[in-house]
Amino acid sequence: MALPRTPSFRLDGKRALITGAGRGIGLAAAAALAQQGAHVVLAARSLNEITEAATMIRAEGGSAETLQMDIADIDSTRDMLATTEAFDILVNNAGTNRPAPFHEVQEKDFDAVMGLNVRAAFFVAQQMAKQLIAQGRPGSIIHMSSQMGHVGGAQRSVYCASKHAIEGLTKAMAIDLAPYKIRVNSICPTFIETPMTKPFFESPEFLQNVLGKIKLGRVGQVEDLMGAVVLLAGEAAALMTGSSMVIDGGWTAD
């Protein structure tokens, strides 16, 4: 009788593209993948942020480079990615939020959130999948979704709509891409302390409301997501596709 062996969490020889990689969750995802041996390509509009991030990763012995692009510009992004070597892993992380009560949402804010969170994410993933299919290679696409893709939230009608869309997209993509051995999953965090969310926590009322719903009693940190990124990226999750990893401290448990 042979004792089963745990699949490796190492990602040596893999190429990973991380969008919105200059800070916060994107930076953590890039660091997590690099620490497991992947060559990471950090993509964002701000060259300064991703340059600094890539430098830090290389200083720790990781392999990293930068790719300055605005994924909301679909044509430019498609052309740019078409000239690069195919990626084995995509962390579709770039996103935004413009909170407002439903009855006060403006069209420009709706378009900005849906344009980045859904439209841009859709076509980045499509371009990656096309390249993998053309080369007959497997891959892993990880959508950075949200607990708000499973529930509703005050002043988050557009954001919730965008993340519910990502959850549906994840399942539909998984079905279409399974024959090509391309897996598609999502990670759904609760409120994570990042440069984008930190200003919200300065409101005692907001913070109290958040902590009242997170059963574990604390705001999430980017480190809480790094293990999930590594898991979904590699062979340890070889049978996972169309799934959603909800990392919410128990927010959606009731």
Spot the catalytic one: 14, 108, 130, 163.
163
108 carries an active-site annotation: no
Q: What is the CA radius of gyration of the chain?
A: 18
180 carries an active-site annotation: no
Contact status, residue 139 vs residue 182, Cβ threshold 8 Å: yes
Q: In Å, how far from its chain's centre is CA 177?
A: 18
Contact status, residue 244 vs residue 13, Cβ threshold 8 Å: no
What beta strand segments (E) does the chain contain?
A: 15-19, 39-44, 63-68, 89-92, 139-144, 182-189, 244-247
Burial 87-111 (b: 16+ CB within 10 A, else e): bbbbbbbbbbbeebeeeebeeebbe
| HEC-encoded secondary structure of 40-63 | EEEEECCHHHHHHHHHHHHHCCCE
Spot the catalytic one: 14, 108, 130, 159.
159
State the catalytic residues: 159, 163
